[in-house]
Amino acid sequence: QQQQQQQQQQQQQINPHALLQQQPHPVHTGAQAPAVARPAAAHPYANPTGDQPNGWWGPADDPLPPPVSRSAPSAPRPAAPWNGPRDQNGVARTGKGRSAPAKGKGKGLAGPAPPKQLAESRRATSKGLKRGNSRGGPAAKKARTVRPMPDRRLALWKHRVQDGMRETIYVSLAGDVYPQKRGAFAFGADKDYLREIGVTDTGPGSSLSTTVEPYATLMGEDPTQLGYWSVPQSVVWAYSDRGVEKMYPWQIECLQLPGVASGERSLVYCAPTSGGKSLVAELLMLRAALFRGRRSLLILPFVSICSEKLSYLRQIWGPVGLRVDGFFSNVSTTSGGMHPGVDVGICTIEKANNMLNRMLEDGVAKDLGLVVVDELHLVGDSSRGYMLEMILLKLRLLQQAGRLASDFQIVGMSATLPNVQAVASWLGAQLYQTSFRPTALDYFVKIGGHITDAHGTEVRTLPPAPREDKEHCAMLAWDVMKHGQSVLMFCATKDWCQQAACQVAGALAALAHADRGGEFQHMSCPLSADFEETKAKRIRTLEALRLSPGGLCPVLARTVPQGVAYHHAGLTTEERNIVEEGYRMGSILMLCATSTLAAGVNLPAKRVILRSLKAGNNSLDAGRFRQMAGRAGRAGFDSKGECLVMARRVELDTVRHLVFSDLSPLRSWLTGHQLARALLEVVALKLVSKVSEVMSLFHGATLRSKTEAAGADGESLSDELESCLQILYTNGFIHALDPKAIGVKTPSATNTQRATAVTQSQQAAQRPILSSAADVAGDGPPRTPPRPTAIDDTLHSTPLGDALVFSSLDPVAGQEVFSDLKRGLCGLRMDTDLHLVFLVAPVHSGIDPDWNHFAKLHSTMDEVSRQVAHLVGVNEGFLFQASCKAPSMSRSNPNETMKVRMERDREILVHKRFWVAMILTELLGEVPLAKVAAKYAVSRGQLQSLQTIAATFCGMVIQFCDRLKWWGLSAVLGSLQPRLSFGVAAELVPLVQLDSVHPAKARHLYDDGFTTLELLAASTERRIEESLLRLRALESYRPDAAAAKQKNSVIRADARRILREAKAAWDQQVQAGFDQAGTRAAMQAPAGVDSSDEEGSPGGR
């Protein structure tokens, strides 16, 4: 007894959890958030000795099997009332070391309660087991699919795969990671504390709630500290390593808006660029995963930002075992939608729409707790805005229908969001706006040789411009570069970027020489003591560029030694990554870029120079201008940023308008074909099922209903919805039980035929060949159903409509693909890749052919390729006419009928797709990027982008075939998709999936014996380095001594990176195998045996 008393006293000394007082969640909306008087909660083992994770993590709640209960719809469990005794901290005592939640403490954020059917099935299971039936009978089989699992993400034993080996670890309440042998102490302390406050090991009471400290509500006294907002200590340290020590006041006020931190209200907030917007969303996603067991979806506009954010969040949240996965480009480690073990999915706008449709079809949408939309102002983008609005529209309809969790949130953020009140009202969200910037921003205008501020007051007169720098570009850049600070110059076009980089690089040497007696001699100056180190870094950058798939660009070869580079879509992904890394490391101090960089990766600068007031052929608007100017000023490095606009005197008023005027209101682009597509999706997903619901629910959930904007032709939204319904019905995408409900006037015989559309469309979809799109909607002898007495406005989607929705094809592209696939089923040439590639060539690729060159290439084709061209509809006479005069689509001609114009447009589209198919076929043959780019007059970056688009489009076509039950064609195209992503033969696909391995390097490694990913992961750094040295030995380039030293250093780092990526990729594959095995085990395990019972022992899960 004395020993037990001593142990209890020791535990009380090291466990301060019992001293924490339960207080309601504070809400402050004032200018400054007052601190909450609350004792700090220091964890008994705040300084861990366990290993930090550096391998691939399994599912966040893996111990296997993964939580099956996520897919089961359920309501959140409210805190149970308690009328018994309480302790001094307000915790209700229930005896036996347990506690009940305090009365009146608010709604719990714990996991869902088991449904009534589950309780009955468990009782039936126990009866079956008592009778000697080990499997528990039918009731047990039913229970296996809905067994609840804990939503808690901390204080759990978990599995992870590292270096191909599976190991058991413990993640404590503090978020610290302990190996199995050293986790017993932390496990015991956490379990004792959780037992005291009434949190069970398994079942619905195993999750944290608002009455549980330290991580379910708040900690400490200072709201500026991340720990105050329930961030585990290990994550706090990870943020601190990246310079995030404290929160800004506006971030605190934003999180303290009613219902935001608890997940009860959505949020729309606006803050300037570099103001810290991302941290608010990250904290909300972190809390949703750790304390509510909810998964999050982060939607970003560009692949480059997705890649950057994926790497960042994996490093930040890795210590607490959260699994972050990417669903963009070719990086997704799962097929289809989000794996049950993924806590946060990062995706582009288009991929997010597809994933949401898949989650709705699979019935797991209620598992989603948070959708974060970055750059929310893109709703008003003319090309992609409709897609983003369609996603948010479906989420709003799901919320209204109760098909999402009650604590589901939409979080939208932007730096340039106009009419923000209307957007917040549309999303039913709390609104927060701030103009705070951690660094001040000053605007200047250069007119001739004079520089004025934004109000027109002259602040500086420049000396006469030298011949090599007529516009003072190099002089304005050198003013900043000689201090070791960075410069961003935005140019209107890609050609301007390259010309500006060459011009500045050529003039910098003369400026540095003239400044030799000046005050500043930074490392970029040849007279600086650090210049040799900088020169070595730049040589290293050049060697890295020489190792890239496209080789060393001649322009970069001239500019990088001077610390200047250009950045636009014409560069390959590898080249852009190398240039960005050089910019971050300081070896490159000036970037000449197009306006897309302003919305891309985070590359701030001391000074931003706008060389023109245009972006391409279009004038800058205020929103894009402020995105570009907002890159000036690096938080933590600069006290202020500078934006300098180069303009003519007549453009001074335009500059002032861009700086001071309000942003133009957002307009909805959900109109025309885009509106028809949105309508088809909500009908196919059964979000609306009647015409009356379209005119009420769907109408009210659109942004247009809030902004009162008419369609493209001035048509009202109601009239346009009726027109879209008629178009969808006419093309066989939807079926109306009574066509009169959508305004279609047809004879009674046709009405009777359409009444059987659903049954007969299913029969039509099972046939291998269909004659037209209308065939999918139904054909054959009509059957006469009972004549309704009143108009029935019920709507259904047809199999063809479902195929379009779940393949993410828009109706226009879907009809084109449908027609080509039917012809392919009649005769498919399998002795060449060209025919298959044409079937998956993107309808809208953005690459227009050189018609004269196209005709020449067609005339020199081999016989097999000419036969494929004939099969798909390529006409030599059309090519001859096009070579004389380039054709254009949808050009109005009063002498042409609609039918003639549509046939001409289709013929143009067929030839454009075949041109793209020719390019992709050469890439599949492992022809170097540079050679293909020269042959077809396309930049290397465009070729890489085309590969990504083609692989994505191929996946859409595969889904389309699956929905129409064309299994054979789907299987054939399935083998083509990974090859399109990288442009390689099938045997190289596992190797080129590594970021550091391009096709040429993959072919060399394969021929050198690394034939599988497992062999590469099991190799050594030295062996990989020797293989890469043999590859470089074949080059004609012979470096000097300094360059040779850097070359060997680059190859050594490349070998180290390849080995690390190979091990991580192999760990992912092994982990995926365990995930799948766990899912099967969860479905097969007896219901009476809950796998979460093993959670309490280190030797178990």
Task: Output the CA–CA distances (angstroms, integers) from residue 933 to 257, 331, 684, 724, in the order listed.
Answer: 53, 25, 42, 42
Give the model confidence (pLDDT) of 36-81 as tens digits: 333 333 333 233 333 333 333 333 333 322 332 323 333 333 333 3
Cis peptide before 65 (omega within 30 of 0): yes
Most confident among 175-179, 206-210, 814-818 (mean pLDDT) = 814-818
How much of the chain is helix, strand and coil, in % rounded to 5?
50, 10, 40
Cα 328 from chain centroid (whole Å): 6
Can you read off the two tokens belonging to residue 187? 């496990």
Length of the chain: 1101
| Spatial distance between the Cα atoms of 1096 and 478, rounded to a whole number of angstroms | 63
Is the pLDDT assigned to residue 763 strictly greater than 70? no
DSSP state of 681: H
pLDDT of residue 790: 64
| Spatial distance between the Cα atoms of 432 and 413, rounded to a whole number of angstroms | 10
Contact 413, 270 (CB under 8 A): yes
Select from 560, 639, 651, 554 the least CA-distant residue to 610.
651
Strands across the sheet with 440-447, in order? 458-461, 450-453, 440-447, 640-646, 607-610, 487-490, 590-593, 564-567
Is the pLDDT assigned to residue 524 strictly greater than 90? no
DSSP string, 868-890: HHHHHT--HHHHHHHHHS---TT
Q: What angle do CA 228, 321, 992 make, to 5 degrees?
A: 130
Contact 426, 393 (CB under 8 A): no
| pLDDT band, residue 190 (cuts 50/70/90) | confident
pLDDT of residue 953: 92
CA atoms 1044, 1047, 1051, 1053: torsion sign: positive
| Spatial distance between the Cα atoms of 7 and 414, rounded to a whole number of angstroms | 54
Task: Output the CA–CA distances (angstroms, integers) from residue 432 to 267, 425, 660, in the order listed.
Answer: 8, 12, 21
| Spatial distance between the Cα atoms of 775 and 759, rounded to a whole number of angstroms | 12
Mean pLDDT, rounded, for 750-773: 41
pLDDT of residue 737: 83
Contact 367, 295 (CB under 8 A): yes
Task: Count CA atoms within 13 Å of residue 1071 on its CB side.
Answer: 30
Give the model confidence (pLDDT) of 205-236 as tens digits: 666 554 444 444 556 678 899 988 888 888 99
Q: Which residue shows structure tokens 């060399």?
A: 1004
Contact 698, 407 (CB under 8 A): no
| Spatial distance between the Cα atoms of 223 and 219, rounded to a whole number of angstroms | 9
Can you read off the two tokens belonging to residue 841? 């060539």
Amino acid identity, position 1095? E
pLDDT of residue 812: 84
Contact 710, 716 (CB under 8 A): yes
pLDDT of residue 38: 32
DSSP state of 690: B
Is the pLDDT assigned to residue 837 strictly greater than 90? yes
CA atoms 1049, 1053, 1059, 1065: torsion sign: negative
Is the pLDDT assigned to residue 18 strictly greater than 80? no
| pLDDT band, residue 678 (cuts 50/70/90) | very high
Give the model confidence (pLDDT) of 1024-1045 as tens digits: 998 988 887 666 566 677 777 7
pLDDT of residue 145: 37
- For residue 41, is it left (φ>0), alpha (ψ between -120 and 50) or beta? beta
Is the pLDDT assigned to residue 464 strictly greater than 70? yes
Which residue would you say has higher pLDDT here, 314 or 17?
314
Question: In the 3-class helix/strand/coil scheme, how is 594-619 assigned residue by residue?
Answer: CHHHHHCCCCCECEEEECCCEECCEE
Most confident among 174-178, 610-614, 790-794, 822-826 (mean pLDDT) = 610-614
Residues near 977 by beta carbon (within 8 Å), at least 6 away in sequence:
840, 951, 954, 955, 958
| Spatial distance between the Cα atoms of 258 and 27, rounded to a whole number of angstroms | 6
| pLDDT band, residue 906 (cuts 50/70/90) | confident
Count of helix runs (H) and strand runs (E) in the chain:
42, 25
Least confident of 75-89, 338-352, 806-820: 75-89
Most confident among 765-779, 920-934, 1083-1097 (mean pLDDT) = 920-934
| Spatial distance between the Cα atoms of 1036 and 782, rounded to a whole number of angstroms | 74
What stretches of 23-181 show up as alpha helix (H) in DSSP? Answer: 116-130, 137-144
Measure the CA dihedral 790/796/801/806, to 10°: 160
Give the model confidence (pLDDT) of 638-647 as tens digits: 788 999 999 9
Is the pLDDT assigned to residue 892 strictly greater than 70? no
pLDDT of residue 214: 46
Task: Output the CA–CA distances (angstroms, integers) from residue 819 to 808, 813, 832, in the order listed.
Answer: 17, 10, 21
| Spatial distance between the Cα atoms of 614 and 280, rounded to a whole number of angstroms | 33
DSSP string, 315-342: HHHGGGT--EEEESTT--SSSSS--TT-
Which residue would you say has higher pLDDT here, 153 or 665?
665
Q: Tell me the average pLDDT of the chain.
A: 76
Task: Output the CA–CA distances (angstroms, integers) from residue 913 to 511, 830, 837, in the order listed.
Answer: 50, 19, 10
Select from 413, 172, 408 the least CA-distant residue to 295.
408
Percent of the chain with pLDDT over 90: 33
pLDDT of residue 209: 53
Most confident among 116-130, 373-387, 737-751 (mean pLDDT) = 373-387
Can you read off the two tokens belonging to residue 332? 């997704």
| Spatial distance between the Cα atoms of 220 and 46, rounded to a whole number of angstroms | 14
| pLDDT band, residue 1000 (cuts 50/70/90) | confident
Residues near 35 by beta carbon (within 8 Å), at least 6 away in sequence:
221, 222, 223
Is the pLDDT assigned to residue 1079 strictly greater than 60? no
Is the pLDDT assigned to residue 504 strictly greater than 70? yes
Residues near 772 by beta carbon (within 8 Å), at least 6 away in sequence:
none
| pLDDT band, residue 347 (cuts 50/70/90) | very high
Can you read off the two tokens belonging to residue 893? 């001609």
pLDDT of residue 714: 57
pLDDT of residue 685: 93
Contact 287, 369 (CB under 8 A): no
pLDDT of residue 357: 92
DSSP string, 200-225: -SSSGGGS--TT-TTTSS--SS-TTB
Which residue would you say has higher pLDDT here, 397 or 745?
397
Residues near 997 by beta carbon (within 8 Å), at least 6 away in sequence:
991, 1005, 1058, 1061
Cα 649 from chain centroid (whole Å): 43
Contact 392, 373 (CB under 8 A): yes
- For residue 238, is it left (φ>0), alpha (ψ between -120 and 50) or beta? alpha
pLDDT of residue 122: 33
Give the model confidence (pLDDT) of 271-306 as tens digits: 988 888 999 999 999 988 887 878 999 999 988 899
Mean pLDDT, rounded, for 890-894: 54
pLDDT of residue 126: 34
What do you get for the CA distance between the two ends of the chain, in Å?
A: 32
pLDDT of residue 855: 92
Task: Output the CA–CA distances (angstroms, integers) from residue 1031 to 369, 549, 1034, in the order listed.
Answer: 49, 13, 6
Least confident of 42-56, 192-206, 244-258, 807-821: 42-56
| pLDDT band, residue 706 (cuts 50/70/90) | confident
Contact 450, 460 (CB under 8 A): yes
Radius of gyration of the chain from Cα atoms? Answer: 31
Percent of the chain with pLDDT over 70: 72
Task: Output the CA–CA distances (angstroms, integers) from residue 799 to 49, 764, 912, in the order listed.
Answer: 58, 9, 29
pLDDT of residue 799: 92
Task: Output the CA–CA distances (angstroms, integers) from residue 308 to 57, 356, 581, 862, in the order listed.
Answer: 19, 23, 12, 44
Can you read off the two tokens belonging to residue 875? 């006409």
Is the pLDDT assigned to residue 468 strictly greater than 60? yes
| Spatial distance between the Cα atoms of 870 and 356, rounded to a whole number of angstroms | 40
Select from 412, 629, 594 the least CA-distant residue to 493.
594
| Spatial distance between the Cα atoms of 986 and 869, rounded to a whole number of angstroms | 24
Select from 521, 534, 597, 530 the least CA-distant residue to 562.
534
| pLDDT band, residue 406 (cuts 50/70/90) | confident
pLDDT of residue 5: 58
